């Protein structure tokens, strides 16, 4: 296992669409293992392959609470096949460190996916996991949670965030 470097906004690769996984081989398992390790290390509750520079339809999630047992979900070629209700929860993203915003999602979502062996599964989730599933699948379409903000909020985000990155860059140079 190895930690992977997480790409940060505004890295262009994060805007690209990921390709379906067709080979369920050792390389895929290695990538999944690396992503799990990287997610727990960050720490974060979810990570999508494009965030570590791999344009593959693979996501990992663990939205279990602090006092709950681990609930690791590794999903290949995931898709939301049903959603209901509205949720407006604050989200963050390992690719947009230091920024959080409320995003409208389904409150309950059913995901169809494959495991790393290629077996098909379905999982229905609500709460944090439902939001996480939708957030991570968005990454596979090249969509970040900040892309789902209203145009006004998004332009404020862009200005503030790029200014923050610039200031951080200057600190690094100092």
Name which of 59 and 116 has its Cβ closer to Ni ion. 59
Cα 133 to Cα 107: distance, rounded to the nearest angstrom: 11
Name which of 52 and 93 has its Cβ closer to Ni ion. 93
**Known catalytic residue at 136:** yes
Q: Which residue out of 90, 136, 141, 167 is catalytically annotated?
A: 136
Cα 35 to Cα 31: distance, rounded to the nearest angstrom: 6
Does 49 participate in binding Ni ion (rule CB under 5 A)? no
Name which of 93 and 116 has its Cβ closer to Ni ion. 93
Question: Residue 104 belongs to what H/E stretch?
Answer: strand 101-114
Does 63 participate in binding Ni ion (rule CB under 5 A)? no
Q: Helices in the chain by DSSP H: which ranges? A: 26-41, 127-140, 151-173
How far, in Å, are 19, 116, 139, 152 from residue 113 at the CA level?
14, 10, 15, 35
In the bound state, the residue with its beta carbon closest to Ni ion is: 93
Site string for Ni ion, 72-111 (x = CB under 5 A): ---------------------x------------------
Active site residues: 136
- Contacts to Ni ion by CB under 5 A: 93
């Amino acid at each position: 296992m190895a930690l992977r470097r997480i790409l940060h906004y505004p890295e262009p690769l994060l805007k690209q669409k990921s390709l379906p996984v067709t080979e369920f081989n050792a390389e895929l398992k290695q990538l999944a293992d690396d992503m799990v390790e990287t997610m727990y290390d960050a720490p974060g509750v979810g990570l999508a392959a494009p965030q570590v520079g791999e344009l593959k339809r693979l996501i990992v999630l663990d939205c279990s609470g602090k006092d709950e047992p681990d609930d690791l979900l590794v999903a290949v070629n995931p898709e939301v096949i049903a959603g209901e209700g509205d949720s407006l929860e604050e989200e963050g993203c390992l690719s947009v460190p230091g920024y959080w915003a409320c995003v409208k999602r389904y409150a309950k979502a059913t995901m169809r996916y494959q495991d790393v062996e290629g077996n098909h599964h379905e999982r229905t989730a609500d709460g944090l996991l439902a939001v996480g599933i939708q957030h991570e699948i968005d990454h596979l379409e090249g969509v970040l949670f900040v892309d789902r903000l209203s145009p006004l909020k998004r332009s404020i985000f862009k200005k503030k965030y790029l200014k923050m990155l610039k200031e951080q860059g200057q600190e690094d140079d100092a």
